[in-house]
Chains A and B, each alone.
Chain A
C-alpha cells in the first residue's frame, strides 16, 4: 500500500544550526512533492514545491531535495531560529490514476532552542 513516512519524534536543535527533516515514501511515483509549515491552531502554510525532474530547490534559508531513486525528500532550514519551530508536513501526489491531488504525511515537529 502507499505510505508516506515522516519522523514522528520531534527534532530538537540549537539556534543557528541546520535542521534537516525527512520524508520517505513507498509505492508512489509522484510527479511533485510539496512542503508545508503548520503552527499550533493554524492551517498548513505552503513553503515549497519540487518536481520529479528537479533535484533541488531553494528559497531563502530553505532547501528541498527530491531523490526519486531513494524515494525520499529532505527539507533543510539553514541558520535556524526559534521562530522556525513548528510542524512541517510533506505532501506528494499519487502519480497514478489521473488524480494529482496530493496526500499529506503526518508531519515532524521541529523545536529550535535559543
Chain B
C-alpha cells in the first residue's frame, strides 16, 4: 500500500479564496482524521470519520471549514473563504479500529500558506 496520500503537498493562495485539500486513506482503514499542525498549537484534531460518517467535528475552527468523505477512499477538507491565520500544515491520517491497535498512519501533509 502506498500509505495515506495527500494532495497538494504545498498550496499558496490569496486571502478570500477557496482551498480544497484532498486525502486518500489506506484501503481497509475505517477511520479517517484531519489534523492541523502549527508551531503555536501543535497537532490539533479538526474532524474524524468512521466508515465515511463524520463523528466529531468539534475541532473545526469555524464555519469556513468543511469536510466530506463521499466514499471509503477519498476525503476533502475545504476552507472557504481562506484567511492568513489558516496557514498551517494539514495532515490526514487513517486507522483501523480508531488506532487502539496499530496507531494512526499519517500522510505527508499539505502546507497551506494564505497571503
Residues of A bordering B, CB below 8 Å = 31-32, 34, 36, 41-47, 49, 89, 93, 99-107
Contacts and interface: CB of A to CB of B under 8 A. Distances in A.
B109 A102 contact: no
A101 B108 contact: no
A89 B45 CA distance: 14
Contacts of B107: 43
Contact of A46 (B42, B48, B102): B102
A57 B36 CA distance: 29
Contact of A43 (B93, B99, B101): B93
Nearest to A44: B106
Q: Chain B contact residues (Cβ within 8 angstroms of A): what range?
A: 20 to 34
A83 to B, nearest CB: 19
B104 interface: yes
Interface in B71-115: 91, 93, 98-109
Interface in B14-52: 33, 42-43, 45, 48
A54 to B, nearest CB: 13
B109 A101 contact: no
Contacts of A32: 100
Interface centre among A46, A47, A93, A107 (most CB of B within 10 A): A46
Chain A at the B interface: mostly helix, strand, loop or mixed? loop
A23 to B, nearest CB: 13
A43 B108 contact: yes
Nearest to A103: B45
Contacts of B56: 99, 101
A38 B108 CA distance: 10
8 contacts: A32-B100, A34-B99, A43-B4, A47-B103, A49-B100, A101-B48, A104-B42, A104-B43
A46 B104 contact: yes
Contact of B109 (A36, A42, A89, A106): A42
Contacts of A47: 103
A43 B91 contact: yes
